[in-house]
Chain A
Amino acid sequence: MSEEPTIDKFKQTFLEEAREILVELESALLALNDNRGDNELVGRAFRALHTIKGSGAMFGFDELAAFTHNLENAFDEVRNGRLHVTSELINLSLAALDQIKAMLDEAAGGGEADRTVSAEILVKVRQLTGKPEPRPAEAAPSPELAPAADAKGATRDWQIRFSPGADLLRTGTNPLLLLRELKQLGSLQIEASMAAVPPIPELDPERCYISWDMVLTTSAAREAISDVFIFVADSCELTIEPAIESTIEPKIELTTEPAIEMRIKPTIAPVSGPVSSAAVAEPQAPKAKYPSYGRRASDTPDNASSIRVPAAKLDQFVNLVGELVTVQARLFEIATRREDPEVGAVSEEIDRLTSALRESSISIRMLPIRATFERFRRLVHDLARDLHKEVELTIEGADTELDKSVIDQLNDPLMHLIRNSMDHGIEPPERRLAAAKRPSATIHLSARHSGASVLISVADDGGGINAAAVRERAIEKGLVASDAQLTEAEIFALILAPGFSTARQVTDVSGRGVGMDVVRRSVETLRGRIDIASKPGTGTTVTLRLPLTLAIIDGLLVRVGHAYFVLPLATTLECIELTRQDIEQANGKHVANVRGEIIPYIRLREYFNMPIEQLEREQIMVAETEDGRYGFVVDQVLGDHQTVIKNLGRFYRHVELVSGATILGNGTVALILDPHRLVRDALRTISLGTRSLGKHADVRAAPRPRAQGVAAPSVAAEKVAAQNAATQGVACS
């Protein structure tokens, strides 16, 4: 299977679609593992393999087709009842699936697939099916569609009724070709029924109204017959029954009297009775539907209503829309300034359109989280097997939609959380039984919207987090002082610290203390939060709170000096005025009294080293940060500002306090501040007694004053007060 470096476009399409089919196959296999007798699932698996084999051969992937063929045979045996679904078959199939994936990757220019693995798998498959060495010419495509005829050679008569559904033609099927295929199986007597053909003015030209009654005399097995219709089973009514008598009455000429049309059918058929052509839309066939294989063969989304777009193109589109929004804001400003009614009207119109365009582009990027969640079924299955535990994965809220950029980054953290849960949280079956629990544990993945965020949680019913062990370990690692008083929430939050792990043994699966750190970092990059809840003996739930999209931020535009900033609306609690009076009453401390609560604040003017002015009135933006409630003092609050976030670019990547920038209507740039980082930075510099913006490699080594996720204003207030006393007017670096 050696490919040229540039794969031609059709092969590219095949590779993409084959990958999608593999997803469907994997899902069918995993479901089949839990429902071994489910023939529908067997059918799904067979169909998927069948399609990959056929398309593979068509596009020149002969090795792939040959490899898939063997597995397809095995599932054919299962369909025929000659083979049972066993763990061995499932695991072997999953292994084969991985191998197919490897072959696809190789074809796409990736690393070489290991052929010895293919050979091993094939040997095992043949052992299972008891089939001898295949003939070398096994990779032929379509003619092999139907399994070989029954070796006995005895012929039977089958009565077949085929009645296309309304959409059959629209799926690209040509019924005449199907009939031709049937003919190849034996000798076919066929009559067409025109009973459902409406008067020509009402006739839908793209719908098939003809149905067929046939008697097929063949030595082929029933599967061979139904396989002819395998891809249209869902868009037609099909009955295949052994015929007791194999005669067919000569057809009586159809009369076109408006009232009644009668038809003589082969004697064994259930009587359909007189049919009024005026009233009937569908043929009055016996409604016994052939037990279909369930899902359509093409499990890709309905081709008529969706379109595949490269992500890069979509990004570009969204970007342009963002730019348009910016320019439109400037137009609006000019229009207002010039007080020109004509221009103003046009500007408003453009404003409406731009908003709609922006909403539309955001929603295009929103995808349901289903695919991400479902992908973990395989992981849970494999890990459970490796760890000798029984674990079931349940999913809730798969329809919840998130921005593509967020979804892409969720994979790693979720994977680590699941691995953690399975490795450390969930007990082996014996221990669960001893604890009067069901031996099979459950991991529950759920997603739901909450305001402008989405909450994603991973919950298990395992043994919960041992708070004491965590605390001990944290002390061991020097993360907290040995006499520190921590709340339960604080203790749990320690798990997220880098290098932390209570695992006594590092297993292959986890324990290196890297996983949870990845989770923490991913969530921070996503501007989210993590909450950990746990009850010993009952289980643990980790909840991620994430913004719906990273591309847009709802913020409050503020002015400090001549500079503009945006503070995220999501974390802002309220905005109150800070008067000279308040300052005097605070006795030199940077704290404010908000309805009885002491809120320490940071003067952004000072913090950003701007010329200090004594203003009569200033505003405090009170924000809920990961370290508690803090205020940011600004000169003026200009209002809501929903804006597309622009990255600062490579050179400013390390400036942690600023998460991006946006361009205002008048063309100036406003920096978007990250309140969590601002506060974190302030506390850090306070504890060191110095102040600095930017990277501090040395500061990272210092013990963090506080664990994540805890609000304790009084302690922080003390620190701020200490800063005030010790470091009045310290210069920034």
Chain B
Amino acid sequence: MAVTLDQSEARCVIRLDGEVNIASAAELKELLLQALASGREPRADLEGATELDVTALQLLWAAEREARGSGRGFTLAGRVPEEIAATARDAGLEKFPVGVDAK
């Protein structure tokens, strides 16, 4: 599965694996909504992702805005693969939608 949500007492992690594109966009939105509703601080794990397209980028961006708006953060769990970072840069995004955990 390209997108999975790992939820438990302590964690709430959205994992993106392999190619994440329009085919899994609806699923990604669902999981992001769940994560945002969970009450915990959602994190994004992109270490296994090889490709993101505009649908994934905009969903992540929108989720991050939503999380920030309700006082939480939506941050990265782990590093962003260089390929993915490059995709975001090529797409004209100054920084990756999901930020690094400042803590």
Task: Give per-residue flags for B4-28: 1 if the beta carbon is below 8 A from chain A beta carbons, else 0.
Answer: 0000000000000000011001101
B66, closest chain A residue (CB): A200
- Given A176-B90, A212-B92, A251-B94: A200 and B55 interface contact (C-beta under 8 Å): no
Closest to A208 in B: B54
Pairwise interchain contact A199-B25, C-beta atoms closer than 8 A: no
State A339–B57 Cα separation when bound (angstroms).
68
Most buried by B among A180, A197, A205: A205
Nearest B residue (CB) for A205 = B25
Complex: how many Å from CA A183 to CA B29?
30
Contact (Cβ within 8 A) B91 A203: no
Closest Cβ neighbor of A174 among chain B residues: B53
Cα distance A197–B91 in the bound complex, in angstroms:
15
Contact A210 B62 (CB under 8 A): no
Contact B62 A179 (CB under 8 A): no
B28 touches which of A192, A199, A205 (Cβ 8 Å): A205
Interchain CA distance A192-B25 in the complex, whole Å:
19
Chain B 64-103: CB-based contact to A (< 8 A → 1; otherwise 0): 0110110000000000000000010011111000000000
Known contacts being A169-B55, A174-B53, A210-B57, is A203 close to B62, with CB within 8 Å? yes
Please state if B54 and A205 are interface contacts (CB–CB under 8 Å).
no
A213 to B94, CA, bound (A): 13
Chain B residue nearest in CB terms to A183: B90
Chain B residue contacts of A233, Cβ below 8 A: none
B90 to chain A: which residues have CB within 8 Å?
Answer: 176, 179-180, 183, 190
Partner of B36, one of A197, A200, A205, A210: A200
Bound-complex Cα distance A411 to B92 (A): 55
- The docked-state distance in angstroms from the alpha carbon of A192 to that of B89 is 9
Q: Are B58's CB and A203's CB within 8 A?
A: yes
Tell me whether B92 and A203 are in contact (CB under 8 A).
Answer: no
Does chain B have a CB within 8 A of A618? Answer: no
Given contacts A169-B55, A208-B55, A210-B54, contact A176 B36 (CB under 8 A): no
Q: Does B32 contact A (CB under 8 A)?
A: yes
Kindly identify, within residues 185 to 228 of chain A, every residue whose CB is under 8 Å from any CB belonging to chain B: 190-192, 194, 197-201, 203, 205-206, 208-210, 212-214
A256 at the interface (CB under 8 A from B): yes
Given A169-B55, A206-B25, A256-B69, do A201 and B33 touch, yes or no (CB 8 Å)? yes
Name the A residues within 8 Å of B68 (CB-CB): 256
* A208-B58 in contact given A176-B87, A179-B92 (Cβ < 8 Å): yes
Q: Evaluate contact between A210 and B26: CB separation under 8 angstroms.
A: no
A54 sits at the interface (CB 8 A): no
Report A163 CB to chain B, min CB distance, Å. 13
> Which of A169, A191, A200, A209 contacts B92, CB < 8 Å?
A191
Complex interface: chain B residues within 8 A of A209 (CB)? 58
- Complexed CA–CA distance, A203 and B26 (Å): 10
Q: Are A169 and B66 interface neighbours, CB within 8 A?
A: no
Counting CB contacts under 8 A, is A175 at the interface?
A: yes
Q: Within the complex, what minimum Cβ distance (angstroms) separates A623 from chain B? A: 62
CB distance from A137 to the nearest CB of B (A): 30
- Chain B residues lying within 8 Å of A251, measured Cβ to Cβ, are 94
B22 CB contact (under 8 Å) in A169, A194, A210: A169
With A175-B54, A198-B62, A199-B62: A206-B91 Cβ-Cβ less than 8 Å: no
Task: For B59, list chain A residues within 8 Å (CB).
Answer: 200, 203, 205
Contact yes or no, A206 B22, CB < 8 A: yes
Q: A169-B22, A179-B90, A201-B33 are in contact. Are A206 and B61 (CB under 8 A)?
A: no
Asked whether B63 is an interface residue with its Cβ less than 8 Å from the other chain, the reply is yes
- Distance to closest chain A CB from B15 (angstroms): 18
Contact A205 B55 (CB under 8 A): yes
A261 to chain B, nearest CB (A): 11
CA distance A63 to B92 in the complex (A): 40
Q: Is the CB of A191 within 8 A of B94?
A: yes
Q: CA of A201 to CA of B94 in the docked complex: distance in angstroms?
A: 24
Q: Is the CB of B58 within 8 A of A197?
A: yes
Q: How far is the CA of A206 from the CA of B22 in the complex (A)?
A: 6
The 4 closest A-B pairs by CB, nearest first: A192-B92, A205-B25, A190-B92, A200-B62
A and B contact pairs by CB, cutoff 8 A, 5 listed: A179-B91, A198-B62, A200-B33, A200-B66, A210-B54
Given A192-B91, A194-B58, list of 12 further CB < 8 A pairs? A169-B54, A174-B53, A176-B91, A183-B90, A191-B94, A197-B61, A199-B66, A200-B59, A205-B28, A210-B57, A251-B94, A256-B69
